[in-house]
Structure 1
């Protein structure tokens, strides 16, 4: 028995080392009610199961009952809006070059699926409009303006596409726009004042002040940080500023459990099933592995 508890302690210590110091856990198991109210955002679609930012990834997110699919919007050389994450096509297609230097016709000739699996060979980079038309009314869409500083006028083009489809009204709040470029979000909010907007934040915002939170809250409804800087105190302060918080990007069941325990409003994840999977076998309690 002593050996068993020694081994359990070792596992607990090791696990605590790898989950990172910022995340802390609740004092009991995650309830089914907590899971049901948690907003589940499929990051670049269900990108743990299909090639990111492609129609199959978005469809998989819908099939897995995610509340939102998250998409990355950039602009082509000829001014068309396309869905791709990186500034270049090198990683996720069989082509090379910067998105901004390629026309839509050139991008549509690329294979955006084979890098993930031969099952998805021939998948194309979708346009923003194609995604809107395919998934509006089926799921929420969290729109990230990716690198807007490279694409003058991208905020107006996104607004035009949404207004054309009558998707610029608050309704059920199923359209949210976010970006790491906070000036771009301020601009987008002015163009689409009825839609919720969010700011994305990296590690450098770990010490965000209350004054900065108040400045964000003047035009943003969401404060969406990297999960590595999320603490109970940060969540409380974001809520006190009147914003919601959707940390990114959960890629393990354990990370999802810990985010649950921090009382965040939503989880941006490559694996939507982690948010819905009931933790009947294990949960994280005070950075230790609690076997149930």
Structure 2
């Protein structure tokens, strides 16, 4: 596989351009429709396990946008997931959070928006994915999402907000989405029961209760990946349920789940999980394009000073001029000119072991972008 050249620093939109160069004509709606129609994907057609692009693959693309879903589909995502929220006018939009604060330049509750105002929100992609993505993107409406991808790729909509499952099923009916090409998921047993009664495959998320899942007519059960064992998978399969794990972004977490026999895996970075050959030996950090677990942090006051945060992806890095520090967990290794410290305290660099800690013991393995 030929790797795209890293985008140049300061070129806004350059990462998106690089991705679009990779997928070229596949990004057009007509090409996507023709391609997916030829594939004729159904849930049963997919491999075991198959990988679900969670929110479209939110570590790769701006989540919940048509542009993001198009890139994910063109990169051969096996299934697309979307969070469905009910709006004030009875329509349904795609957004994960109950508020618009995290992913847009606005604030407030999703449920307070109509289709018109929701469609005017500005997705703040450059903040959480880096300056390579433009900010003039809008959140998707479920109607448009189904129109473009329905029956062409397996869709996994989640009835996220209260009252959203009915309108979601109405749209599935209106677009004539075949029941073997969609799985309706929810943390609510009642919503899963509604979807199953409407004739759609239902997935009960966040539970390990096989008895409840079977009682509500669900076909799938999806606990958090830390709750899944080989024994649980055996129990679920014996009851006629398939098992999905959420949300997995690391290969070392994926491998035990595959060994346990799960049927599907939700991931924010499905391209990385589903293909072990996708490796990168360069880092687009200096181009201001973030990659998985390489989140922007406040720039230190002086060159050589460090900035620290706690939690997932926490770490420190000496700040080179005109760049922002980034972090990553220690199961990945980035080769670059300046060393930085990962969560485990290991140092990664182009060569040698600069001051700050021992070299990371994990082999270099970073996904192609």
Q: Structure 2-normalised TM-score?
A: 0.59
Which residue does the alignment assign to 2:63?
A: 52
In the TM superposition, residue 129 of structure 1 has moved relative to its aligned partner by 0.5
Confirm whether residue 239 of structure 1 aligns to residue 237 of structure 2: yes
Cα shift readout 1:92-126 (whole Å, capped 9, x = no counterpart):
10011101112222222211134333423111011
Which residue does the alignment assign to 1:175?
A: 182
For residues 96-107 of structure 1, what are the structure 2 equivalents within 5 Å?
96-107=107-118
Which residue does the alignment assign to 2:142?
A: 128
Which gives a bigger RCO, structure 1 or 2 (Cα 8 Å, sep 6+)? 1
Confirm whether residue 165 of structure 1 aligns to residue 179 of structure 2: no
In the TM superposition, residue 225 of structure 1 has moved relative to its aligned partner by 0.9
Which residue does the alignment assign to 2:212?
A: 215
In the TM superposition, residue 37 of structure 1 has moved relative to its aligned partner by 3.2
What is the RMSD computed on CA atoms of the aligned residues?
2.4
Cα shift readout 1:186-218 (whole Å, capped 9, x = no counterpart):
12222x22x2111001xxx4xx4xxx4133113
Output the CA distance in 1 between the equivalents of 2:137 and 2:362. 42
Q: Which runs of 5+ in 2 are unaligned?
A: 1-45, 280-360, 364-369
Q: Helix, strand or coil for the counterpart of 1:123?
A: coil
Q: Structure 1-normalised TM-score?
A: 0.74
Q: Given that residues 143 and 177 in structure 1 are in contact (C-alpha distance below 8 angstroms), is that contact kept between their aligned partners in structure 2?
A: yes
Output the CA distance in 2 between the equivalents of 1:270 and 1:259. 16
Dislocated runs of 4+, deviation >4 Å:
none
Query: Which of 76-85 and 116-125 deviates more?
Result: 116-125
Select the structure of larger CA radius of gyration.
2
Match of residue 270, structure 1, among 262, 268, 271: 268
Output the CA distance in 1 between the equivalents of 2:185 and 2:105. 28
Which residue does the alignment assign to 2:127?
A: 115
Q: Kindly tell me: are residues 36 and 102 of structure 1, through their superposed partners in 2, closer, same or farther at Cα, counting changes over 3 Å?
A: closer
Confirm whether residue 229 of structure 1 aligns to residue 227 of structure 2: yes
Output the CA distance in 2 between the equivalents of 1:277 and 1:120. 28
Match of residue 189, structure 1, among 196, 200, 206: 196
Q: Given that residues 64 and 272 in structure 1 are in contact (C-alpha distance below 8 angstroms), is that contact kept between their aligned partners in structure 2?
A: no
Count, aligned residues? 234
Q: Helix, strand or coil for the counterpart of 1:120?
A: coil
Q: Which runs of 5+ in 1 are unaligned?
A: 1-34, 282-288
Match of residue 105, structure 2, among 94, 99, 104: 94
